Amino acid sequence: MPLNIHPDTKVHVFREPFIFDTPYMGRDESIPQLEVGYEAWGNPAHPAILVCHALSGNCHATDANEPDDARKSWWNAMVGPGRVIDTQRYYVICINMLGGCGGTSGPATINPDTGQSYGMHFPVVTVHDMVRSQRMLLDVLGVKRLHAVIGGSMGGFQALVWGILYPDFVERIIPVASTGYSNQFMIMTNRVQIDAIQLDPNYQNGHYTPDKTPEIGLAIARMIGFTTFISPVMMERKFAKAHQSLREPFRDGYFKEQMFHEAENYLRRQAEPFSQEFDANSMVYLLQTWNHFDLARKYGTLARAVQPIKSRMMLIAATGDNLFPPYLSEDIVKAMAVHGKSVLYELIEEDYGHDFFLIPDIIEEKIAPPLKVFLES
């Protein structure tokens, strides 16, 4: 199966059953052993920071050999020597989320009881399951307390749940471009991505083979996702005047294959390698985890959900984020205020879109300065 695993990833195997939150037909679901993929940087004696990745990420948050190359890891501008999350000052850990395909157990993992991948027989995964698996690994690594948990998008889901499940273990939680519940726009766009994968003829109800995977469906799903990651303003700025082909559109029968607009080229460039490196079932599982993330529904109200939190909280949102609009972060601020809890809210004036927290210039100019103050206070 294709895996989103980096060569530097370490995998710890817990050789006892891991029980999931969501039962099936009245019975607890479990796997006989749990594998957790991770990377760590810095001195274990220093204050520990957990970095949680987003939907399609992995544990390679920074590249020790190429810390200035944004293409080598997904958060080099944020994590590394001299960065705001300084690996010379902090012990930094990034853990692949449960259900993914970057080293931690998921649908592509081989079930030791059968010798075959779990596929769609893998249990339903919740964000709470992800956080519990992360806590298990931190205990093995000897981490007694977290200076901070930070994550963007789905990583922010995990940061919030860390504060809820382990209020005495975490000093600071920092959800970036995130939310306490999935809104209807997210649910609809994620549903279309799931359908694109599952309607690929090669999907075979999740029982595809390594040599015949639903690459086309996964590529389409990824293209759909990318249309939500940058804002309409940024799309116009980035693509409107860039036409790559000299031919006239719709003059031949191949316009679906021969890209005309640079926007189309961009989507294909993003989607094709992804469809060869990521597991389709993992994508289905993680999108479903995202769609069903709703702290208000789980706990009764969002205010009740955040009530256990003792950690200091900093929320970071951007005005141009059309996938996770600022009101979603503001709802968390209001929920915290019900209990008189302290929370900092940093609203960035930025029209890049949802992926703003991955852009080096935005990180250095607008995110790093207030975040540095929060981490050091």
Q: How many CB atoms lie within 10 A of CB 173?
A: 28
Which of 63, 86, 129, 321 is labelled catalytic? Answer: 321
Rounded Cα distance between 156 and 53, Å, is 8
**Residues in the chain, how many?**
377
Rounded Cα distance between 106 and 145, Å, is 27
Tokens of 25: 């037909």
Rounded Cα distance between 35 and 38, Å, is 10
β-bridge mates for residue 35, sequence order = 13
Tokens of 301: 């109200």
Q: Please count the CA atoms within 13 angstroms of the CA of 206 that sit on its side-chain side.
A: 17
> Is 153 in the active site?
yes
> Is 354 in the active site?
yes
Give yes or no for a contact between 5 and 102, defined as CB atoms under 8 angstroms apart: yes
Q: Tokens 């449960």 map to which residue? A: 98
Q: How many CB atoms lie within 10 A of CB 73?
A: 25
Dihedral sign from CA coordinates of 373, 374, 375, 376: positive
What angle (nearest 5°) sits at the alpha carbon of residue 59, between those of residues 18 and 56? 85
Which of 56, 153, 182, 231 is labelled catalytic? Answer: 153
Q: Tokens 């001299």 map to which residue? A: 82
Say whether 162 sits in a helix, a strand or coil. Answer: helix
Which of 60, 128, 147, 354 is labelled catalytic? Answer: 354
String of DSSP letters for 290-351: HHT-BHHHHHSSHHHHHTT--SEEEEEEETT-SSS-HHHHHHHHHHHHHTT--EEEEEE---
State the catalytic residues. 153, 321, 354
